[in-house]
Chain A
Amino acid sequence: MKTTRPTMYGRAAISSAAVLAALAALLPAASPAAAPSKEEGVAAFETVRAVLQHPRCQNCHIPGDAPLQLDDGRPHTMGVVRGSDGKGAPGLPCATCHGVTNPPTSYGPHVPPGAPTWHLPPPERKMVFIGLSSGEVCRRLKDEKQNGGKNLDALFHHMAEDKLVLWGWSPGAGRAPVPVPHDELVAKLKQWIAAGAPCAP
C-alpha cells in the first residue's frame, strides 16, 4: 500500500488555510459592531431594572421620607428621616451612624453599614423605583428633571463608579449583595445605552 506523506508545500497550504480561517473569524470583531436593536436594548435594561429594584438600591429610593432597611425592606429603626438634602435630619445626619466604610467584622453582625456620602435622594428628586414596571423605571431613570440632571453618560458613571452604589455589592454582614454581578450590570448598561436607551411600553 502506498502512503503519502505531507510535503512541505502541503504543510504550508494547510498552515495558510488555518491562518485565513482565523482571520475570517476575527474579521467581524474588527469591523464596527452594529448597534444593538431596540429589542436587545429593552432586554438589557431588564437587568438594570432588577438591580434598581433590589433592596440594596430601592431601600433608599423611597416614596416617603423614612428609609427602609434590611432585605425585607422594613421601615428603618429610630424614625430617621430623609431631611431637606437627603442626608438626614439637622443634628442627626445619616453619617451619625453610617460611617464611610462598613465597620470591622469584629463589631458584630448588627451594626450599621457604611460607605462614602451615605444619603438618600433629595426630597425634590426622590427617584422612586418601588413598585414600578420596567418601562416606568426606564423612563424615570432617563428623565433629567427627576434624576438630578444626569444624562446617559452621567447615569452610567453613577451606576458604574459611585462608591455608595458599589456598596450594594459588598453590603456587610446580614445583608444580601445585589445578585447581578456588577460587571454584568455595566455591560448591560452599555448595551442599553448603545441601543438608544429604549424603554418597554
Chain B
Amino acid sequence: MKLNVNGKEYEAAAPDDMPLLWVLRDILGLTGTKFGCGMAQCGACTVHVDGQAVRSCVTPAASVQGHAVKTIEGLSAPGLSAIQRAWIEEDVVQCGYCQPGQIMAAAALLAARPHPSDADIDNAMSANLCRCGTYLRIRAAVRRAAELAGRTA
C-alpha cells in the first residue's frame, strides 16, 4: 500500500487491516508514535490524518491511503514547533512515554482553537492518559504554546 507520511511517499508491504501504528513503527521505522493500550483508550498512538487527531492503533492502514498522515517526527520538521518548545519550557515530561501522543493531541487542539480556554484544553486532552500524572504541566504547556505561536505568527 502507498502511504503519505510527514509529506513523504512510502510503499509499505502490509495487510490492509494492519493497524497504522504497526506500519509506522515496524515497517517505516517511525518509532516516535507509541503503543499504549491498542484499543483507543489511552491516546499514546495519536497521529494526524488530514490534520485531525486519530488513534493509529485502531486505524486500518489501508484506510488512510490517499490521506496525509503526520506523526510526531513530522511535527518537528524543520525545527521544533511552538508546542515542543512549550513542552521543554514547562518541563512537562516525566517518563515521557505518553508525550508524543499528548503533543499530537495538543497540536490538533491548537489548530482548531488557537487560543483555547482551560475547558477547551480539558475537553481535548481528556482522552490522553499520563500515568506519571503530568496533567497540570500539560495544561500549562498548551497555554504557553498558544502564546509562543501567537508571538511568531
Interface residues of A (CB under 8 A from B): 77-81, 83, 89-93, 95-97, 99-100, 103-104, 106-108, 110-112
Contact = CB atoms under 8 A, between A and B. Distances in A.
A166 B112 CA distance: 30
Given A99-B63, A103-B60, A92 B123 contact: yes
B17 A106 contact: yes
B105 A92 contact: yes
A79 B108 CA distance: 18
Nearest to B123: A89
B53 A112 contact: no
A103 B120 contact: no
A80 B54 CA distance: 15
A51 to B, nearest CB: 27
Given A91-B112, A99-B58, A112 B40 contact: yes
B59, B111, B127: most-surrounded residue (chain A CB, <10 A): B127
A91 B63 contact: no
Nearest to A88: B123
A72 to B, nearest CB: 18
A contacts with B: majority SS: loop
Given A90-B120, A96-B53, A78 B109 contact: no
Contacts of A112: 39-40, 58
B124 A108 contact: no
B60 A77 contact: no
Contact of B126 (A78, A95, A103, A111): A78
B52 interface: yes
A152 B150 CA distance: 49
Interface residues of B, number: 31
Please list the 4 inter-chain residue pairs (A to B) with the smallest Cβ-Cβ separation, ordered nearest first: A91-B109, A91-B124, A89-B123, A90-B112
A133 B68 CA distance: 48
B contacts with A: majority SS: mixed
Contacts of B74: none
A132 B46 CA distance: 39
Contacts of A78: 41, 126-127
B15 to A, nearest CB: 9
A99 B53 CA distance: 12
A92 B108 contact: yes
A154 to B, nearest CB: 29
Interface in B105-122: 105-106, 108-113, 116, 120, 122
24 contacts: A78-B127, A79-B123, A79-B126, A80-B123, A81-B123, A89-B120, A89-B124, A90-B120, A90-B124, A91-B108, A92-B127, A93-B52, A96-B52, A96-B127, A97-B58, A99-B58, A99-B63, A103-B60, A107-B19, A107-B39, A107-B58, A111-B40, A112-B39, A112-B40
A95 B50 CA distance: 12
Nearest to A103: B58
A97 B105 CA distance: 12
B55 A97 contact: yes
A77 to B, nearest CB: 7
Given A91-B112, A99-B63, A111 B39 contact: yes
